[in-house]
Amino acid sequence: MPEISRDEVAHLAMLARIDLSDAELDHLAPQLSVILESVASINGVAGDDVPPTSHALPLTNVFREDVVVPSLTAEEALSGAPAVEDQRFSVPRILGEEA
Amino acid sequence: MSDITRSTAADLAAQLSAGEITSVELTEAHLDRIDAVDTRPDGRGVHAFLHVDRDGALADAADSDARRARGEARGPLDGVPIAVKDVLTTRGLPTTCGSKILEGWVPPYDATVVARLREAGLPILGKTNMDEFAMGSSTEHSAYGPTRNPWDLDRIPGGSGGGSAAAVAAFEAPLAIGTDTGGSIRQPGAVTGTVGVKPTYGGVSRYGLVALANSLDQAGPVTRTVLDAAMLHDVIGGHDPRDSTSIQQDWPSFTEAARAGASGDMSGVKVGVITELAGEGWQAGVMARFQESVDLLVKAGAEVVEVSCPSFVHALATYYLILPAEASSNLAKFDAMRFGLRVTPEGNPSAEEVMRATRDAGFGDEVKRRIILGTYALSSGYYDAYYGQAQKIRTLISRDFDAAFADVDVLVSPTAPTTAFRLGEKLDDPMAMYLNDLATIPANLAGVPGISVPNGLAEEDGLPSGFQVLAPALADDRVYRVGAALEALYADQWGGPLLDRAPRLETE
């Protein structure tokens, strides 16, 4: 049965960009183990001959004519931004301080 | 309290058309009802709404009345007010998805469903409460507090669309929009004694529906009657070039299908009872009501057979791998950069540190659980065993449906295994919560349409149960026909709607 350790949860949280407190890690790790144990029942149910389904109904690429249609103005697109500067999204530094 | 709020949307449409009422009167009556029951000083309001747009709704209603006076009504539901689940974007109205990470966000655009409601002239009363990002079966995972079930204010209204279901059950709105990823329209319908429809995947546009799991999400009607649901579906459905998964075809009139079904005649209809959706964990009173509904359909002329869908026993596990996988990547967009919450830790933090702090502060427990589960299921080394395997079982579930529908016209089951449970009872036991969606999930995995129709009260607790009808993809008209037939058969038996038996909510 799959066990998910506290360290693994911490690693996954880092990958998912969520800071989890110690209390949250203590709480979440055992819950995730229970869920994983339940879903592990599907292991080996479908053989290699079964194709995967990613979408309920068959789909093909959808194209449209390459014509300009009205879209959001810059003001509208920026209207929900936490910070704006010079008609652009203003974001924290993206490189390390030593860079 | 005015009786107007207890009318069906179809009746209201007729009264508007006959000039007996105005949309302003109608909209005001519902806004007053919301004021009376949604929030109460003792904290025991229904809390179906996260945001009420009194001014906007009344202005839309006045426009509707003016149009009608000019003889330019845009359709039967022009002027009938509606509530919209807070997961659909509304231009100029807050859209939070029940999450702190979107608190105060006002989208600059309308979802296609919302645009179609506006085009059809339906005043939007407000936005309804939901489990955060539609993750849950009780509405308790809303960051803004739970919605209460109008049948018993200490119980859950179902989820994730508990707000929409409770709004129509409490007569705060004649119509509402929900979204259904694993049962979030149908299960709340069952536990609140209302009607909910999940259309065929691709039948209703997902543009502007904040995605939980793209391959499963569908918006649909939340109403008190099958005919009302059909009328609403006719307004919101149909191809949308802005959703690349939207089905390009003409749909039949669902209103006509519901009207045809209301004769109650089921002769020539072959109904399959799903063997796997019964047994351990199913409440006795729910099963008793289900059997009674099946007997009613037989009496009305239906041929009923039992049908086995063996892969359905794996549907729940499959869903709880596919959904978190899709959700974990969908919710990556909440990165504190372009919209929504931004939490900046002390010092000179990097974008990544800001992201991590924001997502910790902005997401609730259930969202974190599912993002981490999805991240795990998609990580290399586990991908084949979990996500890959789940996708294959999805194929097996679709094959079960195909085989079943080769033999029967519709499949039926109870909508949810139990009636409404108490607030808090399953909040910290994720697996117990997930089991609520046992019967509704297969339809989402296969993309087929489904309806939940109220079929009485369970004997042991006097709370509503629901009857689910599933049809092949694209055959949504069948769920309306059979749903309307069952509703009519019960109306004869009961002498009135089930909701007449719900307690009154007005404070004295």
Q: What is the pLDDT of residues A2-11, one digit of tens each?
A: 678 999 999 9
Q: Is B333 a catalytic residue?
A: no
Chain B neighbors of A34, CB-CB under 8 A: 430-431
Mean pLDDT of B436-461: 97
Pairing of strands B195-198, B270-274: unpaired
| Chain mean pLDDT for chain A | 90
Whether residue A99 is predicted with pLDDT greater than 60 in this model: the reply is no
| Substitution target from A5, A17, A19, A62 for chain B, most B beta carbons within 10 A | A17
Indicate the range of A1-15, B338-352, B386-400 predicted with least confidence.
A1-15
Chain A neighbors of B351, CB-CB under 8 A: 91-94
Partner A, chain B 182-211, Cβ-Cβ below 8 Å: 200-202
How close B133 comes to chain A (CA, Å)?
A: 16
User: Of the candidates B332, B342, B356, which has its C-beta nearest A19's C-beta?
Assistant: B356
* pLDDT bracket for residue B1 (50, 70, 90): very low
Instruction: Print the domain residue range for A23.
Output: 6-42
* A98 token code pair: 């030593």
Indicate the range of A48-52, A60-64, B236-240 predicted with least confidence.
A60-64
The structural domain count of chain A equals 1
| Substitution target from B239, B392, B445 for chain A, most A beta carbons within 10 A | B392
Q: Which residue has the higher pLDDT, B96 or A37?
A: B96
**Tokens 């360290």 sit at which residue?**
A7
Question: What's the confidence (pLDDT) of residue B45?
Answer: 96
Domain contains A21: yes
3-state secondary structure of B167: helix
The superfamily (CATH) of domain B3-312+395-501 is Amidase signature (AS) domain (3.90.1300.10)
Rounded CA separation B102/B97 (Å):
7
Rounded CA separation B317/B182 (Å):
12
**Tokens 């991240």 sit at which residue?**
B375
Q: For residue B442, what is the nearest residue in chain A, using CA coordinates?
A: A56
User: Of the candidates A18, A31, A53, which has its C-beta nearest B430's C-beta?
Assistant: A31
Question: What's the confidence (pLDDT) of residue A58?
Answer: 81
**Tokens 């509703």 sit at which residue?**
B487
Chain A neighbors of B367, CB-CB under 8 A: none
Chain A neighbors of B349, CB-CB under 8 A: 92
Q: Is B184 a catalytic residue?
A: yes
CB contact under 8 Å between B360 and A20, yes or no, is: yes
User: Of the candidates B245, B338, B375, which has its C-beta nearest A89's C-beta?
Assistant: B338
pLDDT in tens, B282-308: 999 999 999 999 999 999 999 999 999
Q: Is B263 a catalytic residue?
A: no
Among B138, B164, B184, B246, which one carries the catalytic annotation? B184
Partner A, chain B 44-83, Cβ-Cβ below 8 Å: none
Rounded CA separation B4/A35 (Å):
47
Check if the beta carbon of residue A95 is closer than 8 Å to that of residue B352. Answer: no
Question: For the whole model, what pTM was predicted?
Answer: 0.97
* B456 token code pair: 């009485």
CB contact under 8 Å between A56 and B386, yes or no, is: no
| Substitution target from B376, B383, B402, B444 for chain A, most A beta carbons within 10 A | B376
Residue whose C-alpha is closest to residue B144's, from B106, B188, B100: B100
Whether residue B399 is predicted with pLDDT greater than 90 in this model: the reply is yes
CB contact under 8 Å between B216 and A13, yes or no, is: no
Rounded CA separation B433/B365 (Å):
14
CB contact under 8 Å between B388 and A96, yes or no, is: no
Question: What's the confidence (pLDDT) of residue B508?
Answer: 43
* B314 token code pair: 């794996």
Check if the beta carbon of residue B445 is closer than 8 Å to that of residue B401. Answer: no
CB contact under 8 Å between A53 and B338, yes or no, is: no
Question: What's the confidence (pLDDT) of residue A97?
Answer: 64
Beta carbons within 8 Å of B354's beta carbon, 6+ residues apart: A92, B336, B342, B343, B344, B345
Among B142, B160, B246, B465, which one carries the catalytic annotation? B160
Edge-to-edge strand ranges of the sheet holding B49-52: B49-52, B124-128, B82-85, B175-180, B218-223, B195-198, B450-457, B464-470, B410-414, B270-274, B303-307
Partner B, chain A 24-83, Cβ-Cβ below 8 Å: 24, 27-28, 31-32, 34-36, 38-46, 50-57, 59, 62, 64, 72, 76-77, 79-83
CB contact under 8 Å between B368 and A76, yes or no, is: no
Q: Which residue has the higher pLDDT, B506 or B503?
A: B503
Whether residue B149 is predicted with pLDDT greater than 70 in this model: the reply is yes
Pairing of strands B450-457, B464-470: antiparallel
Mean pLDDT of B333-339: 96
Question: What's the confidence (pLDDT) of residue B507?
Answer: 61
Question: What's the confidence (pLDDT) of residue A1?
Answer: 47
Chain A neighbors of B434, CB-CB under 8 A: 35
Domain contains A81: no
Check if the beta carbon of residue A62 is closer than 8 Å to that of residue B248. Answer: no
